[in-house]
Amino acid sequence: QTVVTQEPSLTVSPGGTVTLTCASSTGAVTSGYYPNWFQQKPGQTPRALIYSTSNKHSWTPARFSGSLLGDKAALTLSGAQPEDEADYYCLLFHGDSWVFGGGTKLTVL
Amino acid sequence: QLQLQESGPGLVQPSETLSLTCTVSGGSISISNYYWAWIRQPPGKGLEWIGNVYFSGSAYYNPSLKSRVTISVDTSKNQFSLKLSSVTAADTAVYYCGRQPFGSFDYWGQGTLVTVSS
């Protein structure tokens, strides 16, 4: 059973920068895992932010960016805003199925 | 604007089969390079990918649910469906449908809460 691991919680100051990471139990995350990132606020449907490592959707704020960092996928938020407080999930492709990470609760404080 | 809407019973008896349908509007389900997916989220917990289906009918499943899940597509109705058999309380969750262009995931339905209880 593949496990995808994210930081359970992180805190960032308003205007600050924070990086969330996403690791796979199968080994180093590469572009072939097509990392996706999602934001979910309380009581809302998840919203897609990043696909295929670093590509943004038309609605993704410019302050979000995706990359590979060492052996993990990463989501960087530069210039955090209060409205960025949310849960963030990564999603990785493994063979013929997809696996979500457990999520990171991001606090802007 | 593409829209997806889940529908189905909100309450299912233990050991029965959960059945949900996702209706796609504002676009065709029969489009190349797009998969149609089901995801769930138990109350207060994280997201779980259940599986997806191509308009041809080819389906892929989460290995941990594969023995109980069937995802199918009805192109004439622009719909795709989820069946999950032998449900228990652990299957209580908000169930979402969504669109998965290959390598990506963009549009989501609003989600529907399904409770497994007698």
Predicted pLDDT of residue A1: 86
Task: Tell me the pLDDT tens digit for each residue of B66-98.
Answer: 999 999 999 999 999 999 999 999 999 999 999
Average confidence (pLDDT) over B3-24? 98
Task: Tell me the pLDDT tens digit for each residue of A51-62.
Answer: 999 999 999 999
What radius of gyration do chain A's Cα atoms show?
13
**B74 touching A (Cβ < 8 Å):** no
Q: B33 CB contacts (<8 Å, ≥6 apart)? A: B101, B102
Say yes or no for a CB contact (<8 Å) between B49 and A103. Answer: no
Average pLDDT of the residues of chain B: 96
Please state, as a whole number, how many other Cβ atoms lie within 10 Å of the Cβ of residue B102: 13
pLDDT at B54 over 90: yes
Query: For the CA atoms of A57, A81, B43, A89, what is the dihedral angle to 10 degrees?
Result: 40
CA pair distance B68, B84, nearest whole angstrom: 5
pLDDT at B113 over 90: yes
**B65 touching A (Cβ < 8 Å):** no
Predicted pLDDT of residue B102: 86
**B111 touching A (Cβ < 8 Å):** yes
CA pair distance A47, A24, nearest whole angstrom: 22
Hey, what are B69's tokens?
A: 């899940």
A34, A52, A97: residue with CB nearest B62: A97
**A58 touching B (Cβ < 8 Å):** no
| Cβ–Cβ < 8 Å for B52, B60 | yes
Residues of B in contact with A93 (CB under 8 A): 103
Low-confidence ranges of chain A (pLDDT < 70): none
Nearest CA in chain B to A5: B46
Q: How far is CA A23 from the centre of its chain?
A: 11
* Closest among B107, B111, B102 to B48, alpha carbons compared: B111
Say yes or no for a CB contact (<8 Å) between B104 and A36. Answer: yes
